[in-house]
Structure 1
Amino acid sequence: MGKIQHFKRSEDSKPFDKLFVSYPPTLNELKFAILTSGNGVGIEVFQFIDPPCKSRDEVFEFTRPGVFHICVTNQNPDELLARVVSRGGRQVGDWMQYSIFGLDGHKGIYTQDPWGNVVEIMSISQERVASSGNALMTAAETFGTKL
């Protein structure tokens, strides 16, 4: 944790024999990192190098099963979006303006990394957006529901 691990079967087969036993023997090289939070939730992020990752057929696969996207909070979402794009990612759609929820100056955007994973960037935490009474009321009004 706190470090990206890089494993090459040609240099050391032990991790492949002990840790990566669920993967076929064609897996020869990968990088991975573990992200954890204080409440025990963890996300493992893998980059498969040999064999390499394959690009997705569809540009924005929002209907595929499984995890649709992850979300990060960043005080400078424009800057982070520029970094994503400069490194081969792309912007998906337009900015979501959270001022409609009474959260003036805050916004969010969907992006895709070079491998097609969708990462939402928000300028404010999800807890603050979700706990905003205005957010709930506006969403209800938008979708014609009464709370």
Structure 2
Amino acid sequence: MATPEERISELGLELPDVVAPLASYVPTARTGSLVYTAGQLPIVKGELVVTGKVGAEVSAEEAAGHARTCALNAIAAIKAEVGDLSKVKRVVKVVGFVASAPDFYGQPQVINGASDLLGEVFGDAGRHARSAVGVSVLPRNSPVEVELIVEVG
């Protein structure tokens, strides 16, 4: 059976460097067997790759791809915390925030971008509880932000 790192490679993806905190926080916090990630934006090579509201400047399909990037950044933070993604026993919870135009109601479909990647990387252990929340604005005018809670062993 392939490791999560091998699955990431098979998907044609590469784990990025952990995104440096944008304010006063740390990328992950561990308590017992749980690792919480800070909210992750669609940052690639140190740059926010998109700005704007979903349903206005950013399409739902584009935003789902950016949610996938957020999840990949969260996975990188988890790996930095635990050293080996095979230690992830379960993705417990995903919280996704979508900066939404007033008449946009497709937040769950946007956050599916993150959820789908977690399933591809972790298999059944990637199945999780989730919230997909519409908000008026996110840091740096990002259209999406994703945070994870994972159980490690």
What TM-score comes out, normalization by structure 2 length? 0.24
Q: Which one has a bigger Cα radius of gyration? A: 1
Higher relative contact order (CA 8 A, sep 6+): 2
Bigger fraction of residues in helix: 2
What TM-score comes out, normalization by structure 1 length? 0.24
